[in-house]
Structure 1
Amino acid sequence: MKTWLKSGSPYIWLTGGAMTLCMVMVIGLLLLIGVRGFSHFWPAAIVETTYTLPGAEPVRLLGEISRSETLTAVQVREAGIEVPEGQQLVTRHLFKQGTRDHLGRDFVWYLDDFMSEWRYPKDALMLERREWGNFYGYPVELREGDQVVARGEALPRELAARVKRSNDLFEQIRRIERRDIGNINMRLERIRLAERRLELSDDVPPAQVAEQKEGFARERAELDAEYLVLQDQLDQLYLDMRRDTLVAEIMDGRQVEISLANIVRASQPNAMGLGSKLAYYGDRLWEFLAGYPREANTEGGIFPAIFGTVTMVFVMSIIVTPFGILAAIYLREYAKQGPLLRIIRVSVYNLAGVPSIVFGVFGLGFFVYFIGGGIDRLFYPEALPAPTFGTPGLFWVSLTLALLTLPVVIVATEEGLARIPRTVREGSLALGATKAETLWRIVVPQATPAMMTGLILAIARAAGEVAPLMLVGVVKLAPTLPIDGHFPFVHLERKIMHLGFHIFDVGFQSPNVEAARPLVYATALTLVIIIIALNMAAVAIRNHLREKYRSESD
């Protein structure tokens, strides 16, 4: 036994077991998040049942079973609901009955003991709406204006065609509002700023000022005319989109009218086959990844958050990489070794342990208000008092995170430089190369894999940070993306959305917690996948560089 312990085998097995346990926990966590999140997009069966409390009239229920749980009879009695004598455990179901614009609540708990047998009617309809969440009911008739166009068996097919038409019109409206009218507004703003710049200028002759103002007036008149044309198009599109109306019966027996302009997707899950369900799942999943959020971020997609996260990581990497590498090269190769350098290194190590929110406060005070305010006064006086760079934005987010991850890059680069054998440096110097040539042509290329390791660690930490981002540029809903087709194409002053903050907002700030719960899991898994993809790309580059310089050295 002592020989076995001295051989070190137990420690090898313990290390392997701990590693296996960690891998199982990580994979299990990812599977849990994936199942809880991405199962949300699968079409759930619509359940109909009758709920009858003692001494009360029966109530018809219609909706999805969100989840179920078992309670003790004591807990149920404390809520004021009687249960049969002698029963110790009670099962209850969270019913997603939707239709909260008519029923008042989206999710309601019901006890299993007072439910009748569950039925799955094939004609039950689920409507995913742009406002008021999901709708559950039975289709009655489809109207075009005051004329009935479909009833009975022909209604689902006609409804699907008209919902598609309504969505196509909605996309046209959104394209006009965001692209065409957005372009006009941007050009009008540039004219306003040019006029203001002209007013602030003291060295422009009055005749030239008058001539330029006339030109601005002509441009503004042309843009106003373009806007009126687009507004007429929008009015007609809105009128066409609101043409059709669906009459449906909800679970309490009332018949209500729903404009197809408010419907994103219509389906009858109980009548779907496997192929239809797979197509429906793919459509909803694609909308989640490529669409824009709606309903206070509890519905729709997360594309702006994905785009903002990836853009922020790239800009942060561009900033932190040269600064971190140059700082490490100076500390390792040029700085004089002594007490001052040791103090600097200790400070760098301590900087890595500072809470991230402190970096956010520093970024807000120094980067945004001090530097950004100074930039506005020097280069954008015509826009004041509205700030351009003196307000949180993409550049300050990236700069704050670059400062946050700078110690990681410095330490990793220094370790990589320290691994280069001294004989390599001496051999280069012996052949007549200068110290600078030896550094940039021999040492730095061989230390590139270590630099990439530092960048990988920086990306992994920066992509998941949330606390400092709320102070320096990340918002709940960003009106525009930071990259578009307008010069200068990359707009560093714009605010962005971020997946980490989106998870916080949906999970803890949402007015509809139950509806937001699956999206929290799905968004969290998306963030993990993006971080893994970015890290894998950096690892591939690092391995390529390592093999390249290893083959060259051989």
Structure 2
Amino acid sequence: MKHWIKSGSPWIWLTAGSVSISMIAVLGILLLIGWKGLSYFWPTPLQEWHTIDGKVIVGQLYDVEKLHDTNTEKKERLVIKVGNRDINGFDFINIDKDKIKSVSQPVDLAVVDRLQNGKYFGTIIETSSGLELTRLQVEAWVRSEKAKIDLLEQEQRKLYRLLDALPNSGLLSDESKKRETELNEQAETIVNQLSHSYLILQDSQGEKYKLSSDNVVDIWFPNAMSLKEKTMHWVGELYDFVSDNPREANSEGGVFPAIFGTILLVLLMSVIVMPLGVIAAIYLHEYAKPNMLTRLVRIAVINLAGVPSIVYGVFGLGFFVYVVGGTLDQLFYSNELPTPTFGTPGLLWSALTLAILTLPVVIVATEEGLSRIPNSVRHGSLALGATQFETLWKIVLPMASPAIMTGLILAVARAAGEVAPLMLVGVVKLAPSLPVDNVAPYLHLDRKFMHLGYHIYDVGFQSPNVEAARPIVYATAFLLVTVIIGLNLTAIAIRNNLREKYRTLEL
């Protein structure tokens, strides 16, 4: 036993066990987040509960709570998502299981996803034309109406662009005024057409509800769907989640602007931090003499890695936004003042703040890579007549490129999940337009943007109904982890390619 301990085998097993436990814990968390998030898009069956006092409740079973009364008798309470927020005034109700008389799943119950007021649970009575439709006919009607609405909205946008192109109303000629009147009449006609088509719905209490077709996102009958139909619906809902814009205070719809903003921010941060970090590391390791100043700089770089991220946010707000941005506005955008252009939080200042935050990681990783290159390689290059810069550019940096990419991987892993500093320097709850479009200069660094991390915070803690938005929080968190893993895998692939490319230099 003593010989076994002295051999070091226990520490090997202890290390392996610790790594295994850590991996299991990480995978367990990812599976939990993924299950909670992705199951939200599965078409949950609609049930109809009949209580002993004659009430009828239609909804989806959300949870079953275990209760203990004073007699220590176990009871169960059902948490039911009833939808119809605009009618009921709430999303969930609680009812004791012993008060349920019977439960059924009628096949004619439908889930209507609306642009406003969330989902509606009930039955479809008829359309605006007075026709009673079957399930398949309703789904075909929805597809047809969505196609018509898309065409009408495109035509409406064209008309509004033509109206915007007209000169000021005070300077309009008679012909221009006539054209403006025609365009307004056409736009009004489109608005009337959008509101002309509607559905008549009925809830569990027998109350009828009129729903305009332009307020319908999708309709499905979960109790009548086969496994294949449910799977296709789940894939479609997941695609809509990652490709649509958010709505209903971010508690409904998709998160595409947040995905776009997160990836764009990380890319801009990487473009900024990589040259700064690599140049700083090269100077400290290759050119600076080992004196007191160099040691102080290294100590400062290491200590900067432990500074709380919110401090970087305050620095970015005070220096980048107010000082640098305010100066740019006075020099180049004075005609726009007092409305700021760059003197307000935006994409550029967020990228710079994250670049300063992750700079120590890149410097340390690059220095470690440079220190692993033998001095004999440098001496051999110099002996063959190369200058120090040529040696650095053609020999040292290619050999250190895997370590540089490691620094980038660590920087991306930290920056992609940061939220606190971004709340001060550019991220917002809802951005009306993306920072990239087809209008010059195409990349608008002064615009505010959305971020997956802030989206999680906003939906999870600022939503008017946190319980109803909880699945969105899990889905967005899983998506953020997926984005970070995707960015890291891309950087790892580049690093491995560089390692194989320059392996011959190490021989």
Specify the TM-score bucket, using the shorter chain as the normaliser. Answer: over 0.9
- 1:159 equivalent to 2:138? Answer yes
User: Corresponding residue for 1:367?
Assistant: 320
Amino acid aligned to 2:144: R
Secondary structure (helix, strand or coil) at the match of 1:353 reads coil
Q: Distance in 1 between matches of 2:183 and 2:16?
A: 66
Secondary structure (helix, strand or coil) at the match of 1:66 reads strand
TM-score by length of 2: 0.94
User: Corresponding residue for 2:124?
Assistant: 139
Residue 173 of structure 1 and its aligned partner are, at CA, apart by 5.7
Distance 1:465 1:173, change over 3 A: farther
Distance 1:530 1:97, change over 3 A: same
Which residue of 276, 284, 287 maps to 2:237?
284
Amino acid aligned to 2:92: F
User: Corresponding residue for 2:84?
Assistant: 99
**8 Å CA contact retained: 1:42, 1:277:** yes
Secondary structure (helix, strand or coil) at the match of 1:116 reads strand
Q: Distance in 1 between matches of 2:154 and 2:3?
A: 76
**8 Å CA contact retained: 1:97, 1:136:** yes
- 1:458 equivalent to 2:411? Answer yes
- 1:333 equivalent to 2:318? Answer no
Q: Distance in 1 between matches of 2:340 and 2:109?
A: 53
Residue 328 of structure 1 and its aligned partner are, at CA, apart by 0.7
Secondary structure (helix, strand or coil) at the match of 1:349 reads helix
Q: Distance in 2 between matches of 1:457 and 1:226?
A: 59
Amino acid aligned to 1:123: D
Distance 1:174 1:512, change over 3 A: farther
User: Corresponding residue for 1:38?
Assistant: 38
- Deviations, residues 428-474 of structure 1 (Å, cap 9, x unaligned): 11111111111111111111111111011000000000000011000
Structure 2 gap segments, 5+ residues each = none
**8 Å CA contact retained: 2:45, 2:105:** yes
**8 Å CA contact retained: 1:99, 1:135:** yes
Residue 177 of structure 1 and its aligned partner are, at CA, apart by 7.1
Which residue of 354, 358, 369 maps to 1:405?
358
Q: Distance in 1 between matches of 2:178 and 2:247?
A: 32
Secondary structure (helix, strand or coil) at the match of 1:117 reads strand
Q: Distance in 1 between matches of 2:178 and 2:244?
A: 32
Residue 141 of structure 1 and its aligned partner are, at CA, apart by 1.8
Q: Distance in 2 between matches of 1:342 and 1:9?
A: 38
Q: Distance in 1 between matches of 2:464 and 2:420?
A: 21
Amino acid aligned to 1:92: R
**Large movers: runs of 4+ above 6 Å:** 176-180, 182-185, 224-230
Residue 111 of structure 1 and its aligned partner are, at CA, apart by 1.1
Q: Distance in 2 between matches of 1:225 and 1:173?
A: 22
Q: Distance in 1 between matches of 2:144 and 2:338?
A: 45
Q: Distance in 2 between matches of 1:183 and 1:361?
A: 44
- 1:380 equivalent to 2:359? Answer no
**8 Å CA contact retained: 1:122, 1:268:** yes
Distance 1:9 1:175, change over 3 A: farther
**8 Å CA contact retained: 1:166, 1:241:** no
Secondary structure (helix, strand or coil) at the match of 2:106 reads coil
- Deviations, residues 385-410 of structure 1 (Å, cap 9, x unaligned): 21111111110010000000000001
Amino acid aligned to 1:88: E
RMSD of aligned alpha carbons:
2.4
Q: Distance in 1 between matches of 2:15 and 2:306?
A: 27
Q: Distance in 1 between matches of 2:449 and 2:405?
A: 26
- 1:293 equivalent to 2:246? Answer yes
Q: Distance in 1 between matches of 2:158 and 2:147?
A: 16
User: Corresponding residue for 1:5?
Assistant: 5
Q: Distance in 2 between matches of 1:350 and 1:237?
A: 62
Range moving further from structure 2, 41-50 or 162-171: 162-171
Q: Distance in 2 between matches of 1:104 and 1:137?
A: 16
Secondary structure (helix, strand or coil) at the match of 2:342 reads coil
Residue 126 of structure 1 and its aligned partner are, at CA, apart by 1.1
Aligned residues: 504
Q: Distance in 2 between matches of 1:225 and 1:478?
A: 36
User: Corresponding residue for 1:304?
Assistant: 257
- 1:115 equivalent to 2:100? Answer yes
Distance 1:177 1:468, change over 3 A: farther
Range moving further from structure 2, 395-404 or 6-15: 6-15
Secondary structure (helix, strand or coil) at the match of 2:446 reads coil
Residue 552 of structure 1 and its aligned partner are, at CA, apart by 4.3
Q: Distance in 1 between matches of 2:232 and 2:78?
A: 28
Residue 156 of structure 1 and its aligned partner are, at CA, apart by 3.0
Residue 377 of structure 1 and its aligned partner are, at CA, apart by 1.0
Q: Distance in 2 between matches of 1:400 and 1:462?
A: 10
**8 Å CA contact retained: 1:242, 1:259:** yes
User: Corresponding residue for 1:197?
Assistant: none
Distance 1:389 1:310, change over 3 A: same
TM-score by length of 1: 0.86
- Deviations, residues 306-357 of structure 1 (Å, cap 9, x unaligned): 0000000000000000011001111111112111111111111111111000
